[in-house]
């Protein structure tokens, strides 16, 4: 049978009081990301007012750029409603492909990693005011097969996964900026 040490009771009470005091003091510092913005508008309406224009991608980035733009449009305005546009999101993509594992017998790569860095700039409709800019970076891997079409499809799936990750990163950063009010 154990008994509570009476000498340690004041120390436990101090630690508990300090913990409660800190948690109550910091609770006012946090604001829900998807709550109303500083202007009182819903964040979803503000995000839907971002225009993602067509970009003339280089041939090597055309498919990835298409997936990326589609994912951003869906992430920002998944409802499909026609919200009046107030902002323009300008994009620049840098894509890389590395093959870290090579089969020593055939000399062929057995896997590949697709990397992407998406630089974005949120501006006013006329482009005179820059609200925020940044970059999102990620990578995804896929297996390469002896069957050519299986490898092509695996590469396309990897690009689609990468586009979804980059779009989600950009959406989260834009939501954080726009929820604070600009």
C-alpha 47 chain-centroid distance: 14
- In a domain? residue 34: no
Q: Is residue 92 part of a domain?
A: yes
Q: In this structure, is residue 164 part of a structural domain?
A: yes
Q: Residue 175 belongs to a domain with what CATH number?
A: 3.30.160.150
Residues 6 or more apart in contact with residue 61 via CB below 8 angstroms: 93, 95
Domain membership of residue 47 as a residue range = 39-179
Inside any domain, residue 124: yes
Transcribe 79-93 into DSSP letters: T---PPP-EEEEEEE
**Structural domain tally of the chain?**
1
Coil, helix or strand for 158? helix
Residue 171 lies in a domain: yes
Examine residue 30 and state whether it is found in any structural domain, yes or no.
no
Percentage of the chain lying above the pLDDT 70 cut: 82
Q: Are the CB atoms for 144 and 110 separated by under 8 Å?
A: yes
Q: What is the pLDDT of residues 115-140, one digit of tens each?
A: 999 999 999 998 899 999 999 999 99
Q: Which of 131, 135, 136, 134 is nearest to 179 (CA)?
A: 131
Please indicate, yes or no, if residue 71 is contained in any of the structural domains: yes
Q: Is the pLDDT of residue 73 over 60?
A: yes
Does residue 11 fall inside a structural domain?
no
- The better pLDDT of the pair 162, 34 is held by 162
* 100: phi then psi, degrees, rounded to nearest 5: -75, -25
């Amino acid at each position: 049978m154990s008994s509570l040490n009476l000498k340690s009771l004041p120390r436990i009470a101090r630690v508990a009081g300090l913990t409660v005091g800190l948690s109550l003091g910091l609770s006012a510092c946090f604001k829900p990301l998807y709550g109303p913005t500083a202007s009182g508008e819903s964040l979803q309406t503000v995000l839907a007012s971002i225009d993602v224009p067509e970009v003339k991608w280089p041939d090597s980035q055309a498919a990835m750029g298409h997936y990326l733009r589609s994912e951003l449009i869906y992430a920002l305005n998944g409802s499909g409603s026609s919200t009046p546009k107030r902002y323009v999101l300008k994009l620049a993509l840098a894509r890389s492909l590395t093959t870290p594992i090579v089969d020593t017998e055939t000399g062929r790569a057995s896997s590949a990693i697709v990397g992407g860095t998406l630089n974005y700039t949120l501006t006013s409709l006329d482009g005179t005011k820059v609200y925020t800019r940044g970059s999102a970076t990620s990578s995804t891997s896929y297996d390469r097969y002896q069957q050519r079409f299986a490898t092509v499809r695996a590469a396309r799936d990897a690009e689609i996964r990468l586009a979804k990750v980059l779009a989600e990163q950009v959406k989260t950063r834009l939501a954080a900026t726009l929820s604070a009010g600009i």
